[in-house]
Homo-oligomer: A and B are copies of this chain.
Amino acid sequence: MQDQDASLARTADIAQRILAGLEDVLARRPFGEIAVADIVASAGMSKRAFYEVYPHKAACLMDHADRFHTSWVEELEARVLDAPDRLAGAEVAVRAFLTQTHERPFLARAHLVDLYNLGPEAIALRRQVKGRYATMLQRLSAADDGTEKVELDGETALRIIGAIDDVLIALAFDDVDDAEFERRAQSAVALVRAVFVGLWVEQEWGPIDLNRLASGAAPDAS
Question: Which A residues lie at the B interface, using CB under 8 A?
Answer: 32, 85-87, 109, 113, 116-117, 123, 126-127, 146-149, 153, 155-156, 158-160, 162-163, 165-167, 169-170, 173-174, 183-184, 186-188, 190-191, 193-202, 204-205, 208, 210-211, 213-214, 216-219, 221
Query: Given contacts A194-B199, A198-B197, A218-B219, is CB(A158)–CB(B187) below 8 Å?
Result: yes
Interchain residue pairs with CB less than 8 A apart (20): A85-B210, A87-B210, A116-B169, A123-B173, A126-B173, A147-B210, A148-B211, A155-B184, A155-B190, A159-B167, A159-B188, A159-B190, A166-B166, A195-B198, A196-B210, A197-B198, A197-B201, A197-B213, A201-B213, A218-B219
Interface centre among A148, A187, A196 (most CB of B within 10 A): A187
Are A200 and B191 interface neighbours, CB within 8 A? no
SS class, residues of chain A in contact with chain B: helix
Kindly list chain B residues whose C-beta atoms are within 8 Å of the C-beta of A123. Answer: 173-174
A149 to chain B, nearest CB (A): 6
Are A210 and B156 interface neighbours, CB within 8 A? no
